[in-house]
Amino acid sequence: MPYFDQEFGEELDRLFNEKFDLLLGRKTYEIFAGYWPYYVDENAPHGGIAELFNDIKKYAVSRSGEVDTSWQGSVLLRDIADVKRLREEDGPNLVTQGSTELVHALLANDLVDAMSIFTVPVVLGGGKKLFADGSAPHSYKLTRSRVSSTGVMIVYYERAGDIKIGGTALDSPSDRERARRERIKREG
């Protein structure tokens, strides 16, 4: 990947050094299950990630269809209610990668406590949205950020409570604003 550099790698290491399980949508799970179990050289680039992914629990969320969960440590969840139950249990954090439809459902059902977002400086002109219509409104605070040498913006957000809404109006309008208001009154 042309944007993978030392800073990008350090941030992935930071993310993956915390205890976690994977929570993936069906399509992303199938991509991971077709790749990571077969990436067996732990000394190769990304070999540590392969070893980690093979050792942790993987939850695949699928509303319909058959899902091959033969990848060691895989569990099938059928709906967002299963995810809610899992979230209420004691256990490691759940990390989601890709899985756009699942992320939309998690946001809509108030199930996202923190976000790690890696923004690559490429415009494709179309694609999937991170925040879709139907996402429940939430306030997040920036807890850490970094820009890599290749321009990747790496940001971490945590829930911040209620949304604070404020205006941009001055306490008292400027002379120019008063003149604008008077002109609007005259012009109708």
The count of structural domains within the chain is: 1
Per-residue pLDDT in tens (0 to 9) along the chain, 188 residues: 788 888 988 998 888 899 999 999 999 999 999 999 988 776 766 678 888 999 999 999 998 878 999 999 999 999 999 999 999 999 999 999 989 999 999 999 999 999 999 999 999 888 888 888 888 888 999 999 999 999 999 999 999 988 888 777 777 888 999 999 999 999 97
**Distance between CA 34 and CA 44 in Å, rounded?**
18
Beta bridge partners of 147: 153
In a domain, 1, yes or no: no
Q: What is the pTM of this model?
A: 0.81
In this structure, is residue 141 part of a structural domain?
yes
Any idea what DSSP says for residue 28?
H
Give the CA count within 13 Å in the CB-facing half-sphere of 3.
Answer: 11
Model confidence pLDDT, tens digit, residues 82-134: 999 999 999 999 999 989 999 999 999 999 999 999 999 999 888 888 888 88
Q: What is the pLDDT of residue 42?
A: 66
CA-to-CA distance for 88 and 80, rounded, in angstroms?
Answer: 13
What is the pairing mode between strands 114-119 and 153-159? Answer: antiparallel
Instruction: For residue 15, give the nearest of 98, 111, 93, 74 by alpha carbon.
Output: 93
pLDDT attached to residue 78: 95
Range of the domain at 125: 6-187
In a domain, 12, yes or no: yes
